[in-house]
Amino acid sequence: RQRYTAEFKQEAVKLILIDGTPVKEVSQQLGVPEGVLYSWKQKHLDQLEADAPEGAQSPKEMAAELAQLRKALAKERRMNEILKKTVGYFSNPE
């Protein structure tokens, strides 16, 4: 059974939560099973939840909001690319 240092676990969770790297990709890059990564992520969020000041937005809520914002940003970027191509098409008098 593989043992991982606390620092390794923390960096793996950071890739998922902060950098927004999909768990599947982190799993492949680091050679850690996806289930283990989900467990580390949950433990990390639970610890942050316990340490959060009363009345503050919970870390789980922040993580969900961040994921939602990243998804919206990706959608806007795709729309922007479509608009650029459309403008280029209509601007080219051929």
Residue 41, domain CATH: 1.10.10
Write down the pLDDT at residue 66. Answer: 86
Alpha-carbon dihedral angle through residues 62, 65, 70, 76, given to the nearest 10 degrees = -150
Residue 22 belongs to a domain: yes
Angle between helices 34-51 and 59-91 in degrees, nearest 10: 120
pLDDT of the chain, 94 residues: tens digit per residue: 789 999 999 999 999 988 889 999 999 999 999 999 999 999 998 888 888 788 878 878 888 888 899 899 999 999 999 888 888 777 776 6
Can you give the pTM of this predicted structure? Answer: 0.65
Range of the domain at 11: 6-91
Q: For residues 69 and 49, give the distance between their C-alpha atoms in angstroms, rounded to a whole number.
A: 21
Residue 1 belongs to a domain: no
Q: Are 37 and 27 in contact (CB under 8 A)?
A: yes
Residue 71 belongs to a domain: yes
Q: Are 71 and 81 in contact (CB under 8 A)?
A: no
Residue 86 belongs to a domain: yes
